């Protein structure tokens, strides 16, 4: 991932953690809101989230590391 992608994905990850992660840094529940669904899809494309249900997914080790750096 490029430096620019990492910067943008870091901001997206922080937004997801705040608004659909409940601050737990574990499960992301998009509550069937299309913006949350798409955000999880994008993060999953980069290996930052593992989709584990139709309602969302969980952070991978790479996703947690990105959150720590963001």
Range of the domain at 22: 3-69
Predicted confidence at residue 60, as pLDDT, reads 96
Q: What's the rounded Cα separation, in Å, for the pair 5 and 53?
A: 26
Whole-prediction pTM: 0.89
Which letter does DSSP use for residue 63 in this model? H
In total, how many domains does the chain have? 1
36: nearest Cα among 68, 53, 69, 12: 12
Q: What is the pLDDT of residues 8-49, one digit of tens each?
A: 999 999 999 999 887 666 789 999 999 999 999 999 999 999
CA angle, residues 7, 50, 37, in degrees to nearest 5: 75
- CATH code at position 21: 1.10.10
């Amino acid at each position: 991932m490029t430096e620019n992608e990492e910067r943008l994905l870091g901001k997206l990850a922080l937004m997801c953690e705040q608004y659909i992660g409940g601050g737990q840094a574990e499960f992301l529940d998009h509550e069937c809101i299309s913006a949350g669904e798409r955000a999880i899809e994008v993060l999953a494309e980069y290996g930052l989230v593992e989709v584990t249900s139709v309602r969302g997914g969980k952070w991978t080790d790479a996703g947690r590391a990105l959150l720590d750096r963001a």
